[in-house]
Amino acid sequence: MPTDTEFMHRALDLARAAAARGEVPVGALLVRGDEVLGEGANCPIGTHDPTAHAEIQALRAAGARVGDYRLAGTTLYVTLEPCIMCASALVHARVSRVVFGAWDPKAGAAGSLTDVFGIAGLNHRVDVFGGVLAEECGTLLSGFFRQRRS
């Protein structure tokens, strides 16, 4: 069975593809066991859709594939700490586990800016683990923004 690191490498490939399209380089995949149910990469610019984050794209693909919006027993791998919108969607989808790469001090909702996953009273708990390939994920993002500013 693939490891968290191996799945994160696939998420990085998706992030690089987003960067090649001029999108912020974030990639995500939703896995159950060793089966990838859905993949996504940031595409709000190209789709003119503010909700088209990598996590949302992966959730949509997985939901369509399994025929259900509830995705219990799954793990989401994403190269950047989820934002508030994505964290909330992951809770509503009943995702079991989130593994992310780089921390996002400006918009992260898994502990950096806020912790959506830790809100008392939510009807579902998500296990969260950050920092997998954090340096590689962070370098991809910082390089993208450095290039855009120059």
Reduce the secondary structure of 64-111 to three states and give it as a string.
Answer: HHHCCCCCCCCEEEEEECCCHHHHHHHHHCCCCEEEEEECCCCCCCEC
Average pLDDT of 5-16?
Answer: 98
Instruction: Spot the catalytic one: 23, 55, 81, 136.
Output: 55
Say if CB 134 and CB 7 are below 8 A apart: no
pLDDT in tens, 85-134: 999 999 999 999 999 999 999 999 999 999 999 999 999 999 999 999 99
Residue 1: pLDDT above 90?
Answer: no
- Residue 6 a catalytic site member: no
**Cα separation, 70 vs 60, whole angstroms:** 11
Q: Is the pTM of this model over 0.75?
A: yes
One-letter amino acid of 17: A
